Chains A and B, each alone.
Chain A
C-alpha cells in the first residue's frame, strides 16, 4: 500500500505542476491522516538476546553491583509502519529489557561476580565495585520510505565501595539500516503465507513459513546488533582500564 501511495504521490506530484504546492500538501496530508487513522494494531516485539562474543582469559577479580534503573529496563522503542493491508502496526520493541539482559550476561563474562539491582540499596551481597548505567537515548526511527535507523546513547561509571568514581565513559551509536550489516530493506509488514507450496528446488525439505509479521525479525535484529556493538565497546574500555591498573590501583 505504501508503495502505491509512493507511486501515486510521484504521479500526483508530476501532474500537479500547475497546482499550488501548498494545496497539494494539505490534500495529501489529509488523505494520509485519514488512511492512517483507519486502524492500528500494537505489535509487541521481543528482541532476541544475543550475547556478544567475549573471550576473557582471566575475569576481573572484583564483585560488581550492576545498577540499572527500572525505567531503563522497561524502556520500549516504538516503530510505526504502514501495512499492505489494514491495520497498520505500531511495534513496541522491548529494547530496554534486551539491553539489561545483554549487559548482565556480558558483565558476567568479565567480572567474577555480578549482582544486578535496580538501586544500589537493593544489593544483597558485599561488593567491590558498582557499575552504574544510564541510558540517555535509545530510539528507533522508521520513516516510511527511508531506512530504519537506531540511535543509542548511554553513560556508565565505575565506583568503589565509598562511591568514589574510578572510571566513566559514554558510548553512542547511531546506525542506519544499511550500516547495520544485515541491511534489509525497509520492508512493510506483509503477511507471509506459503504453507502449501511444493518447491521443486527443495524437495527434501519444503519450506513451511508460518504466517507471521515479516517485520519482526528485522526490528529485533537491528536492536540486537546495536546492543552487541555497545557491549563490545564497553568491554573493551573496561578491560583496558583494568589492564592499565586504573581500577585495581584505586581499589588497592
Chain B
C-alpha cells in the first residue's frame, strides 16, 4: 500500500499515526537494575542527590510502527542512581530541588540528562518506503552530565557520560505475541542506565581517591 503512496502523503500518514499512537500509548516499566559493585568503605559524606522532576517523570517514546509505548526511563534512571550512590556514599537524600533537602549535607550531586531516547529503525524503513524486516535494529542513547559541589555550592568535580546501545533482534512481535514482547526494549534501557552508573561510580571513586572531593 505504501509503495503506491507519494512520499509526502506517506510521511503525513505516518506522522498522524504516530501522534495518535503516542497520545494513546501505554507506559511501560523499565526494570531497575542496580549495578554489581563492591565498595570496601563508603565515601564518608552526606550527599544530596538533585534530580529535577522533569527527569524523573521523563518518558522515552518508542516510535515503532507496530506499537506506541512510552517507557518510564526517567523514573528508572532516578531509582538506579539513588540505589547505586547509596552503595558509594554513607548517606544519600534524593530531592527534586536543593531547597527540599531536609537534612544537613556535605556534598551535592546534580544530575542533568541531555538525551535519553530510543530509536527504532523499522520506522526508518517505513519512511524510506521499504518493508520492515523481521530483524529490527533498536538504539538507546543516554547522555547525562553531573557535578559535585560542596556546602557552599562550589564545584568540586564534573563530568559528562554518554552511552549508546545498539540492539539487533529478531522481531518476534511481528509474528506472534509473547508474554512480554517489549523485553528487549526494557532491557536495553536498563543496560544503558547500568553502564552510565558504573562509569559514574568509577569516576567518583577515582576523584575521591585523588582527593578532588
Stretch at the interface among B45-53, B98-106, B108-116, B120-128: B120-128
Give the number of residue pairs across the A-B interface with Cβ within 8 Å. Answer: 105
Q: B139 and A54: CB pair below 8 A? A: no
Q: Check A187 against B202 for contact (C-beta < 8 Å).
A: no
Chain B interface category by residue count: 35 or more
Interface flag for A182 (CB, 8 Å):
yes
Interface contact A55-B38, CB-CB below 8 Å: yes
Taking CB atoms, residues of chain B closer than 8 Å to A235 are 38
Shortest Cβ distance from B191 into A: residue: A182
Query: Bound state CA distance, A201 and B190, in angstroms?
Result: 23
Residues on B with C-beta less than 8 A from A209 are: 137, 166, 168
Q: How many residues of A contact B (CB 8 A)?
A: 34
Asked if B39 and A200 make an inter-chain contact with CB atoms under 8 angstroms apart, the answer reads: no
Quick check: which of B67-75, B149-157, B169-177 contacts chain A, the rest being far away? B169-177
Q: Report A236 CB to chain B, min CB distance, Å.
A: 6
B9 at the interface (CB under 8 A from A): no
| CB proximity to B under 8 Å, residues A184-239 | 184-185, 187-188, 190, 192, 194, 197-202, 207, 209, 214, 228-229, 232, 235-236, 239
Taken residue by residue from 159 to 198, chain B's Cβ proximity to chain A (1 for < 8 Å, 0 otherwise) reads as 0000000111110100100100001100100110010001
User: Nearest chain-A residue to B11 (Cβ)?
Assistant: A200
Quick one: CB contact mask for B123-141 with A, threshold 8 Å, 1 for yes? 1110110100111010100
Partner of B137 from the list A184, A194, A236 (CB cut-off 8 Å) is: A194
Q: Separation in Å of the A58 CB from the closest CB of chain B?
A: 8
Q: Which of A161-188 contact B (CB under 8 A)?
A: 178, 181-185, 187-188
Chain A residue numbers with a CB within 8 Å of B119 are: 201-202
15 contacts between A and B (CB under 8 A): A52-B38, A53-B37, A54-B38, A56-B38, A56-B40, A182-B190, A183-B183, A190-B170, A197-B121, A197-B128, A199-B124, A199-B125, A199-B128, A200-B128, A229-B36
**11 more CB-based (< 8 A) A-B contacts, given A52-B36, A53-B38, A185-B169:** A3-B175, A52-B38, A53-B35, A181-B191, A190-B134, A197-B130, A201-B63, A201-B124, A202-B124, A207-B137, A228-B36
Q: 6 shortest A-B CB distances, which residue pairs?
A: A199-B124, A53-B37, A187-B170, A181-B33, A200-B127, A54-B38
**Chain B interface residues toward A at CB < 8 A:** 31, 33, 35-41, 63, 119, 121, 123-125, 127-128, 130, 133-135, 137, 139, 166-170, 172, 175, 178, 183-184, 187, 190-191, 194, 198, 201-202, 205
